[in-house]
Amino acid sequence: MVIRSGFRSMAALTATAAIGLCCLASTPHSTASAPRPGPAAGEQVRPRPGAPALPSEVSALSYVVADARTGKVLAARDAHRKLPPASTLKTLFAITALPHLRAEDRHTVSEQDLAGIGPGSSLVGIEPGHTYQVSDLWRGVFLSSGNDAVHVLASLNGGWAETAAQMQAQARRLGALDTEVVSPDGYDSPGQVSSAFDLAVFARAGLARPDFAEYCSTASAQFPGGGGSYGIVNTNRLLSGADGIARYPGIIGVKNGYTTHAGNTLIAAAKQGERTLLVTVMNPQAGGGFTVYEEARTLLDWGFKAWDSVDAVGSLEPVRPTKPAQRQAQITHAAPVTPNAAADDDESVWPAAGAAAGGLAVAGTFLLLVRHRSDRGRSGGERPTE
């Protein structure tokens, strides 16, 4: 099955081809170029002679490595496995609410705005009675993974339940069929799930927006409070280089997360030369809380080395479905598809991104598979400092 995905184009931006997404699942039995078994169950890869082997040390339950421009999926493990998303779900929250809220607007926070924040949530430190600019609140979401910032922005967006409903509808419009939204901030909630594929869909849609790209690539900022401001640092260590984790060369973002049930999750995008890779890693089963960064680093390194020596195990090329979408049971090596010239009004387009995307210059279609982790938490929530 092939799924169409879209957002409204912006006149001020240079438009590229509208894009859609096709699903990833189990490997098909192809008569042509059937993938060789990967080093672990559920992995797909189609290496050519001389291709580097997939890293055997990756313990994540699910991951995807993709060429962000063409949509070529270089390797994947259980890309549609439904798992708790943690704060990576904030990518869906952002693409849902960003179009409705002006960055320059200001809002005085009430006690009601902050009602219902889960115990152990990560917080940026919003104070009732203080007036914040919307752009500051978004930095609180992306850098500190602040559930308090999500609550305030959701209040401005029509309320908590309304925002959850909007997010669910947005996920379906984007063809993200694995996702069930219960709590817009990603806090562990019964029935709330997503997948590495869906989270990548959300991140890819976000990176089409200069505001999203700027927020997710910001390593540090000043946040209002205490009669002045204080510094906040992005909890994505591959971006910030904090806690002894080396910053990844060419890193763009996108989002990390952690909850008790989700474990550690990460969506990482990086650009080296003319090549841009997207890696999503969900819930490593080995090591400590920083293993997710090292596994993402390992997969990025492999992807840049294997770029020209593996065939696609799946494609994210644009196709407009002619029938109601049904989940494809197998990964298919889809033929190239010419983008439909007659795009809908809400069609997604990829601008030629500049500095706001942290050096992400994309001349054509930019497709992402994603997975996030907000860092460690308590009582099914997230660590307050992350």
Residue 40 is predicted with a pLDDT of 59
Distance between CA 221 and CA 295 in Å, rounded?
27
Residue 298 CB neighbour total at 10 angstroms: 17
Residue with tokens 């096709």: 22
Reported as a single tens digit per residue, the pLDDT across 143-175 is 999 999 999 999 999 999 999 999 999 999 887
Q: Is the pLDDT of residue 306 over 60?
A: yes
Cβ neighbours for 56, distance < 8 A, ≥ 6 positions apart: 39, 40
- Torsions phi, psi for 35 (to 5 deg): -65, 145
Q: What is the pLDDT of residue 315?
A: 66
**Alpha-carbon span 205 to 55, nearest angstrom:** 28
pLDDT in tens, 5-44: 333 333 333 233 333 334 443 333 222 233 344 445 689 9
pLDDT single digits (tens) 199-257? 888 888 888 899 999 999 999 999 999 889 999 999 999 999 999 999 999 999 999 99
The pLDDT tens digits of the residues spanning 77-134 come to 998 899 999 999 999 999 999 999 999 999 999 999 999 999 999 999 999 999 999 9
Q: Is 145 designated active site?
A: yes
Which of 381, 1, 62 has the alpha carbon at shortest distance from 192? 381
Q: What is the pLDDT of residues 248-300, one digit of tens each?
A: 999 999 999 999 999 999 999 999 999 988 899 999 999 999 999 999 999 99
- Which residue out of 5, 9, 87, 240 is catalytically annotated? 87
Catalytic residue among 121, 122, 135, 145: 145
Q: Phi/psi class of residue 161: alpha, beta or left (left: φ > 0; alpha: ψ in -120 to 50)?
A: alpha
Q: How far apart (Å, rounded) are the C-alpha atoms in residues 161 and 46? A: 43
pLDDT tens digits, one per residue of 108-121 = 999 999 999 999 99
Single-letter amino acid, residue 193 = V
What does residue 141 show for φ and ψ, rounded to 5 degrees? -70, -50
Hey, which residues does 257 pair with through a beta bridge? 265
Of the candidates 10, 1, 370, 67, the residue with the CA atom closest to the CA atom of residue 210? 10
Bridge partner list, 47: 310
Catalytic residue among 72, 90, 255, 271: 90
